[in-house]
Structure 1
Amino acid sequence: MSLRTDLPEIGNIARNAPKALAFDVPATVTSRYAETPLAAQDDDGGDNEIRILGDIGFDPWSGGGITAASVEDQLEHAGDSDVTVLMNSPGGDLFEGIAIYNLLRLHSGKVTVKVLGLAASAASVIAMAGDVVEMGAGSFIMIHNAWVCACGNRNDFRAIAEYLEPFDAALRDVYAARTGLPDSELDEMLNRETFLDAKTAIDKGFADGKTSDTAPEPGNVLGNQIKAKRAIDAALASQGMPRSERRRLMSEMSSGKHDAAASAAGTPSAAGTATHDAGELAAELRRGLSILTK
């Protein structure tokens, strides 16, 4: 019997979200992901190979991203056949991640997940849906409590804390079903944001073994630009700029549409509510990226 038959479904727990809340990826994860290899741009993989190589949801570096709809299309194409899921992702949209997890959990064929670089946050949940989970050399799985950006008064923050509790409990149940670890140990790991290397992930039951597969460098201009944008996004995240603002800035810079007066003044028009330091950094990064994308 497939292990996936014992994995819990993650139902609709996304009701009545506070207006001040937006799911995000911690800066520590963004920075680590910026340093991991990209997949080869000219290799589409096999018919039954699903590539989760980038942000879950919209990807500001490439303009694409991995969504439940795209994964569903690939699973339909595979039919009842076995599939291999290649992963290198910092996570992203939690709701897309939950949907992809449920799609893989319900697939009739065998699901083999290979973590080539990083499976963090929402991506780590997706990885748990495999019948077999393999870790590549130097790869990591990262688990943590739901991480958000929020604003408001003390009542707003109380409401947000209460709203997040069922998410953390549901994700802990998935890890528990996979690993057999007690809730108390998983709660401690989630609370402190835990990175698991291949050996630790296998020892604790998050993975089953190692794979020799790796994510090769693309060796082309497009890949280099995406990698540069990753580094820029990581730098902005470390300065406290919310993900929504980083996405808007990336989109603006990639399209070349930004306010000339603001650029001349060194003030990014897309800085929005970001901190003053992040705004100054964004202005410098904007100028560098405008050269890169021409």
Structure 2
Amino acid sequence: MAIEIKGYIVPDDDKFIYDYFGISATSPKDVTEAIEKADGQPLDVEISTCYGGDIFAGSGIYSALRGYKGGVHIHITGLAASAASVIAMAGPSDMSPTAMLMVHRVSTMAEGNLHAMDATSDMLQNADKAIAAAYVAKSGMDEKDALKMMDKETWITAAQAVELKLVDKVADAATPQLVAAYGLPLSHAVIEKTRAMLAEQKTATGKNPKLEEPKPTVSNQSEKEKILLMIDLI
């Protein structure tokens, strides 16, 4: 059975908003449901063009795949960036000769006094070590080397990934699609504004938005563009 990891890595509760705007995204639930359907059969996991995203969602996907008893094989065919590079460490793997891995340190936004800043710094350092643990488990490299690799945004070719033992082999040449850049997922503010707007639509119908995820109700593209303008996305 095949699973495709693509777009942004997002929490389960945010996935429907990405679906609403037609933005590719993968959540832990997407993967766990596919694992259940596999029913013990081997899984082929294709990471096509995945920009990374939420580290906790990425960790959930990594853990689910790594713990699957039916066997997992990872195929990196395009871009496995940031959190997606962690998912790529979940099992035996191959990588297209034109694909790329990208690793870097965790980032976030914070506000508050010096104690809040110290707490945020501690959290980021621990998060970096948690991510580095996936690279260490796969390659056998020292944690210090993994963190050094993450210190700056590092782009890794298939040949380099094999040399670093982050990937097991270079796949046979195919025709994967390259990307020229990677972007940012929807901001927390956009997520919350959209969630509120869709919840209002559900409330107007007399249904509790907490009990049922709002589904896309706007089919006209111009209307969706108006919504994007309203939430300052474009």
TM-score (norm 2): 0.73
1:147 maps onto 2:107 in alignment:
yes
CA-CA distance at 1:146 after TM superposition:
1.3
1:119 maps onto 2:80 in alignment:
yes
The match for 1:76 among 36, 46, 50 is 36
1:56 maps onto 2:9 in alignment:
yes
Question: Structure 2 CA distance, aligned partners of 1:68 and 1:205?
Answer: 26
Question: Structure 2 CA distance, aligned partners of 1:125 and 1:116?
Answer: 15
Structure with greater proportional strand content: 2
Question: Structure 2 CA distance, aligned partners of 1:154 and 1:213?
Answer: 52
Contact conserved, 2:194 with 2:231, CA < 8 A, in 1? no
Q: Which residue of the partner structure matches residue 210 of structure 2?
A: none
Instruction: State the secondary structure of the residue aligned to 1:149.
Output: coil
CA shift in 2, pair 1:109/1:194, >3 Å? same
Contact conserved, 2:45 with 2:73, CA < 8 A, in 1? yes
Instruction: State the secondary structure of the residue aligned to 1:91.
Output: strand
Instruction: State the secondary structure of the residue aligned to 2:166.
Output: coil
| Structure 1: unaligned runs, 5 residues or longer | 1-47, 218-226, 260-267, 272-281, 287-294
1:257 maps onto 2:226 in alignment:
yes
How does 1:188-203 map onto structure 2 within 5 Å? 188-203=148-163
Instruction: State the secondary structure of the residue aligned to 2:4.
Output: strand
1:169 maps onto 2:136 in alignment:
no
Question: Structure 2 CA distance, aligned partners of 1:89 and 1:146?
Answer: 16
Question: Structure 2 CA distance, aligned partners of 1:152 and 1:255?
Answer: 35
The one-letter code sitting in structure 1 at the alignment partner of 2:125 is E
How does 1:196-275 map onto structure 2 within 5 Å? 196-211=156-171, 212-215=173-176, 234=183, 243-245=187-189, 255-258=224-227, 269-271=230-232
Contact conserved, 2:5 with 2:50, CA < 8 A, in 1? yes
CA-CA distance at 1:91 after TM superposition:
0.6
CA-CA distance at 1:245 after TM superposition:
4.5
Instruction: State the secondary structure of the residue aligned to 2:45.
Output: strand
CA shift in 2, pair 1:254/1:78, >3 Å? farther
CA shift in 2, pair 1:184/1:258, >3 Å? closer
CA-CA distance at 1:71 after TM superposition:
0.7
1:135-174: CA deviations, max 9, x gaps?
A: 1132111122212133334332222101222211121122
CA shift in 2, pair 1:196/1:216, >3 Å? closer
Instruction: State the secondary structure of the residue aligned to 2:132.
Output: helix
Question: Structure 2 CA distance, aligned partners of 1:151 and 1:256?
Answer: 32
Q: Which residue of the partner structure matches residue 180 of structure 1?
A: 140
CA-CA distance at 1:254 after TM superposition:
6.8
Instruction: State the secondary structure of the residue aligned to 1:206.
Output: coil
1:108-156: CA deviations, max 9, x gaps?
A: 12211111111111111111001x2111132111122212133334332
Question: Structure 2 CA distance, aligned partners of 1:70 and 1:144?
Answer: 25
CA-CA distance at 1:244 after TM superposition:
2.8
Instruction: State the secondary structure of the residue aligned to 2:102.
Output: strand
The one-letter code sitting in structure 2 at the alignment partner of 1:180 is G
Q: Over the residues paired in the alignment, what is the CA RMSD in angstroms? A: 3.2
Question: Structure 1 CA distance, aligned partners of 2:3 and 2:186?
Answer: 30
CA-CA distance at 1:64 after TM superposition:
5.4
Farther-moved stretch of structure 1 (132-141 vs 60-69): 60-69
CA shift in 2, pair 1:143/1:81, >3 Å? same
Aligned identity (percent) is 28
Instruction: Name the structure, 1 or 2, with higher relative contact order (CA <8 Å, separation 6+).
Output: 1
Contact conserved, 1:137 with 1:214, CA < 8 A, in 2? no
Q: Which residue of the partner structure matches residue 156 of structure 1?
A: 116
